[in-house]
Structure 1
Amino acid sequence: MTTIFQSPPLLLTEREAAHLLNCCEKTVYTMRQQGKLKFMKLGSGVRYPRAAIEKFIEEQSKTITA
């Protein structure tokens, strides 16, 4: 049986989002300020929905046609 703690987190910290995007935290912050990444305030912190990060990656991926 899988518990919620064994699955990937739904909300990511800036550090976790940067790791998923393979960039630095400053880049994640800049993309948030530019409106490129969805985020939510949680108390005094900021969290990024994992689904939004994965969607961003998919949208930025380019396919090459032969």
Structure 2
Amino acid sequence: MSTIGYESWAVDLANVGAIYPFQGWEVAMTVIGVLFWIGWHRIQFVRENAHLENAKKRALDHERIQKSVERY
């Protein structure tokens, strides 16, 4: 099975164009890659903000701070 349209490599490669797989899909793969990249950054942004918000709530928990100070 060939993804570039050649069944045999017994040709003059000087007359052959691109020999990489999935030729013609460059734009579609670039668009998919950029969308994946943006989606991944969005997911990371949401998760990190939730983590930081939780850490902020824990840091500003006055009852917890008071309990830790009273122990000593």
Fold match (TM-score > 0.5): no
Which band: TM-score by shorter chain? under 0.3
TM-score (norm 1): 0.27
Larger CA Rg, structure 1 vs 2: 2
User: Does 1 or 2 have the higher relative contact order (CA < 8 Å, sep 6+)?
Assistant: 1
Higher helix fraction (1 or 2)? 2
